[in-house]
Structure 1
């Protein structure tokens, strides 16, 4: 299973810090987490979604052993 970790506002919107998912592609994962956590619908399009620390196209296949990080934009300097 793929581990999805939510940070900052994404964690607040999802209501949890992490979860295990089984979607076969990044696109399917995005759709699945919004379906299960409606609060992410407005945040996810602005988030960086990293697969094992790197950005990928939405059609990337997930083997089930990845770590997905959902990182909303951060302010700071």
Structure 2
């Protein structure tokens, strides 16, 4: 089981802050699953987000380990 946490605009577009999933083999497969599950608005936001797996940014081909925490982080601005 993996834990997906949504932040800021990603949480707004997904309509939730968190989701538990049984499995996702790769980061790319997870992105595709999330886009299909949450609809077009979320898919648009997801395209601008970074995904952090257990605190590390991984490429789309990277495997997601079981029991991982995946953070969906939109771009941040501030000062």
Report SS of the residue matched to 1:34: helix
TM-score by length of 1: 0.93
2:48 is aligned with 1:46: yes
* Residue in structure 1 matched with residue 19 of structure 2 by the alignment: 19
Aligned positions, number: 77
* Residue in structure 1 matched with residue 30 of structure 2 by the alignment: 29
Task: List runs of 5+ in structure 2 lacking aligned partners.
Answer: none
* Residue in structure 2 matched with residue 3 of structure 1 by the alignment: 3
Write the distance in 1 (CA, Å) between the matches of 2:51 and 2:64: 13
1:69, CA displacement in angstroms?
0.3
Task: List runs of 5+ in structure 1 lacking aligned partners.
Answer: none
TM-score by length of 2: 0.91
1:63, CA displacement in angstroms?
2.4
1:9, CA displacement in angstroms?
0.3
Write the distance in 1 (CA, Å) between the matches of 2:57 and 2:17: 20
